[in-house]
């Protein structure tokens, strides 16, 4: 997978292979998809002031997230329906991601048992939605802890599921229900209190940390003041995300929100970002704006069409692009990138 148009080729491959409802689910945003479309363009508006006369013989792409060293500055964000994209689903994603020295966040709606994902050797965290009755989440959380999850990612931007406009049958009407949500108790959806919590609060961060014994990452934050509240409530990291534009349409691009969150958090917690990152140059922009790591959602899911080999090729291409970007920016390490984005351009950055 080489050349400047590899991302278009990746999407075209998915269009050729995936059933229409699955493809639509992967690509769609909420309502008119304003946020989804805007996210990528905003990263592309970043302009750099590179250093020169720096030794960039061996760029170091590594970062540390919650004490764990990654060989690359990105991880795989949580996505469901991976087994609808490829029969091996999360297992293929995990194998390729582990081999790349990256990590993955596993959706609570995953179609593969946590134990099978863990057997790949990948470093992984659990993504969780909390139900109205918090106790209903406890069995799933316990299974994740037992299977070796190293953190819990609490998604906080989904009190209800954002409206999507469908061109045909919903993906949920067409896929085998046995390839999703296998880590939740049987009949979970029919239990009283299983609906998503409308009353999430800072106290839920402490509750999750206490019940799992794991660090808690709060995902779905776009404001500095909210980020500060998360840290004060005990969050180990804050994840700047607009859910890939799949929740509140017209939500601001994450590239525009990241600097405010980084400033509000300071040195008290780590900050991650996702949303529209499509290349090594986008990764460079995110790191330069202060992200400790970047997470990718749609790209790995599209690459998964070709199983572990497709995901491995994606990681390899991003590694090549990011290494080149660091060299051309005069940066030997990820930390060296901080501050090289030209501020006040009027294009959100």
Which pLDDT value is given to residue 68?
Answer: 98
Q: Which of 68, 86, 203, 243 is catalytic?
A: 243
Which pLDDT value is given to residue 99?
Answer: 98
Give the list of residues 6+ apart from residue 309 with CB closer than 8 angstroms, or none: 96
How much is the average pLDDT of 51-70? 98
Which pLDDT value is given to residue 265?
Answer: 98
Task: Verify whether residue 123 is a known catalytic residue.
Answer: no
Buried b (16+ CB within 10 A) or exposed e, 148-186: ebbbbbbbbbbeeebebeeeeeebeeebeeebbbbbbee
Determine if residue 278 is labeled as part of a ligand binding site: yes
Q: Is the pLDDT of residue 2 over 90?
A: no
Q: What is the percentage of the chain residues whose pLDDT exceeds 70?
A: 97
3-state SS, residue 312: helix
pLDDT in tens, 104-123: 999 999 999 999 999 999 99
| Domain 6-337, CATH class in plain words | alpha beta
Stated length of the chain:
349
Determine if residue 55 is labeled as part of a ligand binding site: no
Q: Is the pLDDT of residue 124 over 70?
A: yes
CA distances from 99 to 49, 95, 120, 172, 272 (A): 33, 6, 9, 32, 22
Determine if residue 272 is labeled as part of a ligand binding site: no
Which pLDDT value is given to residue 343?
Answer: 73
Which pLDDT value is given to residue 5?
Answer: 85
Determine if residue 330 is labeled as part of a ligand binding site: no
Beta bridge partners of 270: 237
Determine if residue 34 is labeled as part of a ligand binding site: no
Determine if residue 232 is labeled as part of a ligand binding site: no
Which pLDDT value is given to residue 344?
Answer: 58
Phi, psi of 257, rounded to the nearest 5 degrees: -90, -25
Q: Is the pLDDT of residue 349 over 80?
A: no
What are the boundaries of each domain within the chain? 6-337
Q: Is the pLDDT of residue 346 over 50?
A: no
Determine if residue 203 is labeled as part of a ligand binding site: no
Mean pLDDT of the chain: 95
The pLDDT-based confidence of 347 (bands split at 50, 70, 90) is very low
Q: Is the pLDDT of residue 167 over 90?
A: no
pLDDT in tens, 17-36: 999 999 999 999 999 999 99
How much is the average pLDDT of 188-213? 97
pTM for the model stands at 0.96
How much is the average pLDDT of 180-200? 95
pLDDT in tens, 200-209: 999 999 999 9
């Amino acid at each position: 997978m080489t050349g400047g148009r590899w991302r278009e080729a990746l999407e075209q491959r998915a269009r050729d292979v995936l059933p229409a409802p699955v493809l639509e689910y992967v690509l769609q945003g909420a309502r008119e998809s304003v946020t989804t479309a805007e996210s990528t363009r905003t990263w592309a508006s970043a302009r750099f002031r590179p250093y020169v006369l720096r030794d960039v013989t061996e760029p170091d792409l590594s970062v540390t997230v919650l004490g764990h060293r990654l060989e690359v500055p990105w991880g795989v964000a949580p996505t469901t329906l991976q087994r609808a994209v490829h029969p091996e689903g999360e297992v293929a994603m995990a194998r390729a991601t582990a081999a790349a020295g990256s990590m993955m966040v596993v959706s609570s709606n995953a179609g593969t048992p946590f134990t099978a994902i863990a057997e790949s050797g990948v470093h992984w965290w659990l993504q969780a939605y909390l139900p109205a009755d918090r106790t209903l989440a406890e069995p799933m959380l316990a299974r994740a802890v037992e299977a070796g999850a190293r953190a819990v990612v609490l998604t906080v931007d989904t009190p209800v599921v954002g409206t999507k406009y469908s061109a045909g049958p919903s993906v949920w009407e067409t896929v085998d229900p046995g390839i999703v949500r296998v880590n939740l108790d049987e009949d979970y959806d029919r239990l009283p209190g299983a609906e998503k919590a409308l009353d999430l609060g800072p106290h839920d961060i402490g509750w999750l940390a206490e019940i799992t014994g794991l660090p808690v990452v709060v995902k779905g934050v776009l404001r500095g003041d909210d980020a500060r509240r998360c840290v004060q409530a005990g969050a180990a990291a804050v994840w700047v995300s607009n859910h890939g534009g799949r929740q509140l349409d017209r939500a601001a691009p994450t590239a525009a929100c990241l600097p405010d969150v980084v400033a509000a958090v300071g040195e008290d917690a780590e900050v991650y970002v996702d949303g529209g990152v499509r290349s090594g140059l986008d990764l460079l922009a995110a790191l330069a704006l202060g992200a400790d790591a970047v997470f990718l959602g749609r790209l790995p899911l599209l690459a998964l069409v070709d199983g572990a080999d497709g995901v491995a090729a994606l990681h390899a291409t991003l590694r090549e692009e990011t290494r080149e970007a660091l060299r051309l920016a005069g940066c030997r390490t990820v930390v060296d990138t901080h501050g090289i984005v030209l501020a006040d351009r009027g294009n959100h950055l």
